[in-house]
Structure 1
């Protein structure tokens, strides 16, 4: 049954989809009752069943990774080791990432989106990614940025909002 879940997870390609891949894989491992394999190391003297379960969890992870990355992960001996290696390689929570996401967030405009739904989704997703780096951003700021990205034809709504506040 796990193959059905794994088939729906886009292959990890690198930084560009690490965050989404990570979220999806964590949930597959929860469904398979294997989430502990990425959260903790195997004990110093693991039982045969622990070794077998870890090998299955590791295989599930490997099947969700683009083959071009195999060269980087071939020597990971456990699921936990593999998880940490991928995190170190692709989880970018540094200053450059924060600035890039902040720039993207403040530049999102409704005019550049196909619909209001896409506009709101893009702002919410980008703000969540920014928060994921440890950057503090309040709902008030997200709302203000959302209003700021609206075109001039929404000015009456903005004025009405400022009167209410």
Structure 2
């Protein structure tokens, strides 16, 4: 016997109709239904004394004669009687074995019926039938206590039929089987559902996505309104529509995934359409260049040491104009030849207005400022610009 799910077990009057149909189907499959209805009963256990009688006077005389070896004559009548007695004994033995096996098999069937009934009812009902002597008595008690009238069963089943929806089922096959089960239950309570009613019930439980399918099927039925519907054709078209619905759903999911990926990729791109570089933590890096010494970069990427590495978009923000055409690697500050330098006083004023001006050393003539001083001022400006740009990038992200 297979394990019965909890929702299929008898709970009371609420599911007696469907339970009775499924349980009787399981009892027939296990060849125990006749024992539940009383068509088959367990015969009483046969007694041996009823089949093997005690030896009579004739048998005693026969045993005495066999001991008399000196008797020269043999009685033919006695031999016939002895053969008949042996035949009767053999027949009685066979009869006893047949009756005993029949009793044993029937008893096993009744035990199997009891186990089957016990597995198809809930725990509360098990307590009610545990005092019954056999499965038939327990089954009669259940039918007497939980059976409902046909009128009440019809109302319950029709209500269940209206609540069956394809969206609540695993597939079209599962959906049609549930509707078939309700139709079979209605038949047991003397309610005959016609094919037209059955087809209408199937169409009623379809979701809104099947609206076009229902319109087409209604048009087909309208061509021959007096003929009963072809249910096999309806089942076939439902399965075809289910396959199309699944295909459309997969295509819709694929489009949604592609749209989502496009949105994510667009969010990771800048206004120019180029992907933003992933930033990693560089706070542990420190520049070893003597005129810089800042953290966040190394000497190889230092703008102070190598101004040619400054992005073109940032060069316009420098307070001095650098002519990239006049690079001299042997000169100071990576060989930058400064043309059109802004006077130191203007640089100090501009830097001071930002609150980052270095301590200025008074001198007699600004025209006598050395190139080293101008380089130092440029270093400060480059450092400040680097901090400003990096700070803006971090705040923007």
TM-score (norm 1): 0.70
SS at match of 1:137: coil
Q: Secondary structure at the match of 1:134?
A: coil
Matches within 5 A, 1:10-21: 10=5, 12-15=9-12, 18-19=16-17, 21=19
The structure-2 alpha-carbon separation of the partners of 1:70 and 1:82, relative to structure 1 and needing over 3 Å to count, comes to same
Give the drift of 1:40.
0.7
Counterpart pick for 1:9 among 4, 12, 15 = 4
1:76 and 2:116 matched: no
Unpaired segments ≥5 residues, structure 2: 46-102, 226-397
Relative to 1, partners in 2 of residues 1:93 and 1:131: Cα closer, same or farther, differing over 3 Å? farther
Number of paired residues?
159
Cα distance change of structure 1 residues 162 and 19 upon mapping to structure 2, 3 Å threshold: same
The answer (yes or no) to whether the contact 2:27–2:113 under 8 Å persists in 1 is no
* 2:145 matches 1:89: yes
- Root-mean-square deviation over aligned CA pairs: 3.3
Change beyond 3 A, Cα 1:149–1:14: closer
Q: Distance in 2 between matches of 1:105 and 1:140?
A: 15
In 2 relative to 1, CA 47–141 (structure 1 residues): closer, same or farther, beyond 3 Å? same
In structure 2, the residue matched to 1:105 is 161
Map 1:9-158; keep pairs closer than 5 Å.
9-10=4-5, 12-15=9-12, 18-19=16-17, 21-23=19-21, 25-40=23-38, 46-48=43-45, 49=103, 52-53=107-108, 55-64=110-119, 65-110=121-166, 115-150=171-206, 151=208, 152-153=211-212, 154-158=214-218
Q: CA offset at residue 133 of structure 1?
A: 1.8
Q: Is the 8 A contact 1:9 1:21 kept in 2?
A: no
Shift of residue 114, structure 1, vs aligned partner: 5.5
Contact (CA 8 Å) 1:101, 1:129: kept in 2 or not?
yes
Offset of 1:54 from its aligned partner?
6.0
Name the structure where helix makes up a greater proportion of residues.
Answer: 1
What CA distance in whole angstroms lies between the structure 2 residues aligned with 1:75 and 1:42? Answer: 21
Partner of 1:162: 222
Counterpart CA distance in 1 for 2:191 and 2:21 is: 19
Q: Secondary structure at the match of 1:71?
A: helix
**Alpha-carbon distance change, 123 to 47 in structure 1, aligned in 2, over 3 angstroms:** same
Contact 1:18 1:90 in 2 (8 A): yes
Say if 1:105 and 1:33 are closer, same or farther in 2 by CA, change over 3 A. Answer: closer
Distance across 2 between alignment mates of 1:80 and 1:17 = 20
Partner of 2:318: none
1:129 and 1:146 map into 2 onto residues whose CA distance is 16
Residue 73 of structure 1 and its aligned partner are, at CA, apart by 0.7
C-alpha separation between the residues in 2 aligned to 1:111 and 1:127?
20
Deviations 1:114-163 (A, max 9, x none): 64334323322222222222212222321233234445322132112211
Shift in Å at residue 23 of structure 1?
Answer: 4.6
SS at match of 1:104: helix
Larger Rg: 2
TM-score (norm 2): 0.34
